[in-house]
Structure 1
Amino acid sequence: MRAYFIGIDIGTQGARTVLVDQRGALIASASRSFVLDERAREEQSPTIWWNAGVELLDEVLNSLPADFDKSAIRAVSVTSTSGTVIPLDQNNQPLHNAIMYSDGRSAEQGKRIQKIALRHVKDGYTGFNASSGISKMLWFMERYPDKRNRIALWIHASDYMVGKLSGVYKTTDYTNALKSGYDVANLKWPAYIIDELGLKKEWLQAVVPSGTVVGRLQEDLATRWGLKEIEVVVGMTDGCASQVASGAVKPGDWNTTIGTTLVIKGVTRNQVIDPLGRLYSHRHPEGYWMPGGASNTGADWITVDFSSDILQWNQAAEKLIPTGKIAWPLLQDGERYPLSAPHARAIVPEQASKAELYAANLEGVACIERLAYEIIEELSGEKVAAVYTAGGGSNSDVWLKIRASMLNVPIYKCKAASGALGAAIMAASNTYYQSVIEAAPQMTTMEKEVYPDDRLVVRYEDQYQQFKQKLKVLNYL
């Protein structure tokens, strides 16, 4: 018998809701853009999110055929931005607008917190900055001291939606809690948060594995939508939800999303400790680790210089690879991952036609991706078994061929890797399936499988080593 699951994604500029079955087949979906003011990058009213969420659920659930079995809808979960926090009063009402992850006003607090954390945390996350939830909590306490005594609880963006659905606000998950200072290695709130930052213990949520059922849909909402009091599953950050939706959920699996930037996330058995701070690790629901990092290198150069006829450029590149040319299409100055080089600049090969430059740039991004995975393997002592890919950059067949051969691992292109689908998979992970490792392969679909081309593998090994040598000569690596 079919079972169904709801996933809700609350983004910065809008929201999306999906209803899928236990195989991940899309039954219905709806999306909304928020009506926001000029301060939306700093603060947003959570009421906007909830109103949009209700409208979307109205649209999705009321559009179902009359003979649709709503009693088979099992669970709902939510994904939203990492680092966005909200102070609640004793009645679970926001004391203030949500302070957004993109709000830079807490930069000074982030620096202070990082110094304190480095004294107390040996092998854990200490990369606190203006985008961290804990930095925003301290900023709020210092900016609005008159509201301090009215704070009853600090929550995250997805927690607010979970709370409105279930009435349970006190619980969050590993991924949301990380940037609020939770120690995901020892599974506790560290003492320095209370002793040195001045937060109160009762303000901090209980933290559980992602995918944990925390409550049931409130009766009035169940009645509104003609549902049972279905299970409500704790939320998850958007980056981790997208990783889940890509299918990269078991040790050795990795996800590369190439959009404006290149984002890499994966699963390891052991925690990855990066002394240079390029990588940080979320905690996997099954106790593994989910390290990841984001590069400034991506596909933005295509939009700027090659968007006029992308099919033409891809066809030309197919005939030109391997180019043997060293290129790095870095549009902005500086790189953060896989190498920390604020002085880095683009590498442009000499005497290259525009078609050759396009093909060489595809190879250059693949070199950066390989370097990222090489560093991951060195730090973790584990092998990359497969790469699942998403983002606009995964739509080029020739680029997939280049990347699979440069990495020398199979690449699986996901049919859909949205945050909303990731939330739906998490909703199913412990209500229908036994784990997210069981749920994800059943609920994701691979649109394409690309394997290394033996001829290219040999040639790209030499080209990659030349690329690394060039970075060393330039003092980037």
Structure 2
Amino acid sequence: MSDALSPEAVHLGLDLGTQSARAVAVDGTGRLLAAASRPLTGHRDGVRHEQDPEQWWSALAAACREALTGIDPRRVRGLAVDATSGTVLLADAQGRPLTPGLMYDDRRADAYTERVNTHGAPVWDKLGYRAMQPSWALPKLLWLLDDPTLPAGVRLLHQADLVTWRLAGHQVASDASHALKTGYDLIAERWPEGELDALGVPAELLPDVVRPGTVLGTVCAEAAESTGIPAGTLITAGMTDGCAAQIAAGALTPGSWNAVLGTTLVFKGASPHLVRDPGGVVYCHRGPGGTWLPGGASSSGAGILTHRFPSAGPAGLDALTARAAATGSTAVVYPLAGSGGERFPFRAPEAESFVLGEPAGDAEEFHACLLGVALLERLCFDYLDHLGAPVDGPLTFTGGGARNRYWAQLRADVLGRPARLPEQAESALGMAVLAATASGATLKEAAGAMVRLREELRPDPARTARLLPVYLDFVDALVRRGWLAPAVADHARGKARQ
């Protein structure tokens, strides 16, 4: 019998974020043995956002060496890698980068998006997201391919692909999670060759693709020397960072959801079926074991606090929370974290922050921001329910905003449902859990053994009832502005009456 979930087994989770590369070593019971990270730097210029792909490898290799210091190499079983969704580059036949890494939020390919959506419309519609955005990988690939100086034999790599190539010593398959925004057909489980050919994308440019959790190969001797990871360690196909965080939260059974509150609010759930969205703001990854992972990413979230209270700092935000909690205010700030409008639970490029009520002083304004996020979160769930996504399973709160205890309780109260707070919910942990499946455990077994909960918040029914009219006023305000479809608003009102 495999010892994958024993204290003796060590699984590695490697995470490439926007600001850092991180490695964690976790045993089969979920105990964090070691963690290390190295910073990543990027370059922003208007709509452009780039990073040096070589830095991804050097930073991750250094983090691995530190994390593995003092760990018996014989205990290390496997690893998996996550990265940002939609980040791509071109490389030569030896895996050497030919271009910078175009990051997940790079929008330089805006002029290519209409062509992508014209030629790919039947596939994108079948997959449920209907249309690609300029920041998705396929429009960016077309922009890269317009360079006439590119040599023959170039390869498309997603961010994680560069790392797995270096680890194995040769190119290995990409995973379907990272390939989604490049147009991979998750239903047929193949590249849509006709559509891509019409767009001028050569088939030989594209990597092979496998499901997350598939063993890709083993760590080669050269990579072992660079990273400290023992040669022969199993390399498992990973997922994007949002999906990795979902695994770390244990939100894997149908109807379960992980709400990640960072600068923006991101939802990831589990469904037995593909969720199709006529509005195009929800899209599905395919999870290990044949499940579907619907999700959406708002442009609103905790970033509103940085915008409205730029000089507060962590201590100041804690003090504001304490004062806000004492106000009992029901004023609301629509919590857009930046410019560019809203993208979930509705798409409104013209949307901007607004205030309902008249908050008196900074404490009430701060509370209005917290409440605004909680109300938007409830609307996100109502929208998902409107689409037919299962939403009645366990709910987990993760992200930096979940560390604010008052805010987390307020969110549970507005939703009127319990919320779990895990001990660890970072993407790297999710990859360690996925890596454990290469050693004989199912993902359900691995998550059950390795994901630990810190606390469960129970909603206050009286507070839920008191805030319900505030939520309905919030919904009405969005309809008046023309941002929220009346049918969605009617569904939200109907749910409120249940």
TM-score (norm: length of structure 1): 0.90
Q: 1:371–1:34: structure 2 CA closer, same or farther, 3 Å change rule?
A: closer
Separation (CA, whole Å) in 2 of partners of 1:104 and 1:349:
32
In structure 1, C-alpha distance between the alignment counterparts of 2:19 and 2:294, rounded to whole Å: 27
2-side partners of 1:199 and 1:330: how far apart?
36
Question: Paired residue for 2:377, among 350, 354, 369?
Answer: 369
Which residue matches 1:84?
Answer: 87
Query: Which amino acid in structure 1 is aligned with residue 471 of structure 2?
Result: Y
> Does 1:420 pair with 2:434?
no
Alignment check: 8 A CA contact 1:326 1:466 kept: no
**Shift in Å, 1:178:** 0.4
Q: Is 1:453 aligned to residue 460 of structure 2?
A: yes
Matches of 1:140 and 1:103, distance apart in 2? 12
Q: What is residue 160 of structure 1 aligned with on the other side?
A: 162
For residue 161 of structure 1, report the CA deviation from its aligned partner: 0.6
Q: Secondary structure at the match of 2:396?
A: strand
Mapped contact 1:404–1:410 kept (Cα < 8 A): yes
Structure 2 alignment gaps of length 5 or more: 1-5, 485-498
Is residue 2:403 matched to residue 1:399? no
The alignment partner of 1:286 has SS state of: helix
The one-letter code sitting in structure 1 at the alignment partner of 2:163 is M
In the other structure, the counterpart of 2:118 is 115
- Whether contact under 8 Å (1:268, 1:380) holds in the other structure is no
* Structure 1 residues 375 and 70, CA gap change in structure 2 (3 angstroms): same
Q: Quick one: distance in 2 between partners of 1:100 and 1:226?
A: 27
1:134·1:179 contact (CA, 8 Å) conserved in 2?
yes
Q: Which residue number in structure 1 is paired with residue 31 of structure 2?
A: 25
Deviation at 1:181, TM superposition (A): 0.7
TM-score normalised by the chain length of structure 2: 0.87
1:148 shift after superposition: 5.3
Aligned pairs for 1:32-431 within 5 A: 32-34=38-40, 42-61=49-68, 63-64=69-70, 68-124=71-127, 125-144=129-148, 146-147=149-150, 149-151=152-154, 153-222=155-224, 225=228, 227=230, 229-306=232-309, 307=312, 309-321=316-328, 323-330=329-336, 332=338, 334-354=341-361, 355-431=363-439
Q: 1:236 to 1:226 in 2, by over 3 A?
A: closer
Shift of 1:464: 1.6
1:294-340 CA-to-partner distances (Å, cap 9, x unmatched) read: 2222122323445363333333343444x444542435453221122
Residue by residue, what CA displacement relative to the aligned partner does 1:92-126 show, whole Å, maximum 9, x if unpaired? 33343433334333222222111211145432144
The farther-off stretch of 408-417 and 74-83 is 408-417
Aligned residues: 469
Q: Contact between 2:218 and 2:231, CA under 8 Å: does it hold in 1?
A: no
Q: Unmatched 5+ residue regions in structure 1?
A: none
Contact 1:255 1:388 (C-alpha < 8 Å) held by counterparts:
yes
2-structure distance, mates of 1:227, 1:447: 33
Give the alignment's Cα RMSD to 1 decimal: 2.5
Alpha-carbon distance change, 120 to 358 in structure 1, aligned in 2, over 3 angstroms: closer
CA contact (8 A) 1:71 1:228 kept: no
SS for the counterpart of 2:184 is coil
Letter in 1 for 2:137: G
**Inter-CA distance 452–19: structure 2 relative to 1 (3 Å threshold):** same
Structure 2 contact 166–223 (Cα < 8 Å) conserved: no
Cα distance in 1 for partners of 2:306, 2:99 equals 39
Q: How far off is 1:180 after superposition?
A: 0.8
Does the CA contact (< 8 Å) of 2:331 and 2:358 recur in 1?
no
Seq. identity, %: 35
Q: CA deviation at 1:136?
A: 2.4
- Is the CA contact 1:166–1:215 (under 8 Å) kept in the aligned structure 2? yes
Report what 2:21 is aligned to: 15
